[in-house]
Amino acid sequence: VGTGPLTLKRHPTLEDRVMVSAGAKVIGNITIGNDSIVGAQAVVLRNVPPNCTVVGIPACIVKKDGERVRKESK
């Protein structure tokens, strides 16, 4: 929450047992779910569900609930 006329939440929320690795950027009003891992140098722009590992620029989920996730086709 800023001190100016804009009173929206602008900062990320890190839930329990989240690890953010060196050099990672978590930008904006997003939530990183419980037990998640953000890889080094990742740029997180969207919410991360619980029990996930995200890497890359922009960050993509590579593991969910201990299982490897295939790359999403765009």
- The strand pair at 25-26 and 43-44 is best described as parallel
Contact 69, 55 (CB under 8 A): no
* SS3 at position 62: strand
Structural domain tally of the chain? 1
Q: Is residue 40 part of a domain?
A: yes
pLDDT of residue 29: 93
| pLDDT averaged over 10-residue windows placed end to end, the chain, 74 residues | 71 96 95 97 97 96 93 57
Q: Which range marks the domain in which residue 43 is found?
A: 14-65
Alpha-carbon gap, residue 30 to 9, rounded angstroms? 10
Domain of residue 52, CATH code: 2.160.10.10
Say if 60 falls within a structural domain.
yes
Task: Establish if 5 belongs to a structural domain.
Answer: no
- Does residue 1 form part of some domain? no
Residue 8 lies in a domain: no
Q: First vs last Cα of the chain: how many Å apart?
A: 35
Whether residue 72 lies inside any domain: the answer is no
